[in-house]
Amino acid sequence: MEKGELAHLAVAGAEIAVLVTPKAARNRIVAEGDVLRVYVTAVPEGGKATAEVQKMLARALGVPKSGLELVRGATARQKVFRVG
């Protein structure tokens, strides 16, 4: 996704649920209906995949990385981020 392509979702206090696929062939975000699927090449070890998801999602939303807070799913494939 391009920078700011999901800017319409970047409302302060909004919670965004994503489904993460680590160790993917390439990094990308796909909107499938109400679900955001995030594919990352990073491995799910030591928070590397979660950090990559946060970076990609922030870019797609057009907000700084620090503007996203992980609410649920630190070690799960289903994660929820809150826009700050």
Q: What is the pLDDT of residue 77?
A: 96
Dist. CA 27–CA 72, nearest whole Å: 22
The tens place of each residue's pLDDT in the chain, 84 residues long, gives 778 899 999 999 999 999 999 999 999 999 988 889 999 999 999 999 999 999 999 999 999 999 999 999 999 999 999 999
DSSP β-bridge partners for residue 80: 17, 72
Determine the residue type at 26: R
Domains of the chain by residue range: 7-83
Return the SS3 of 60: helix
Query: Domain 7-83 - what CATH class?
Result: alpha beta
- In the chain, beta strands by DSSP E: 15-21, 28-32, 35-39, 68-72, 78-83
Q: What is the pLDDT of residue 63?
A: 95
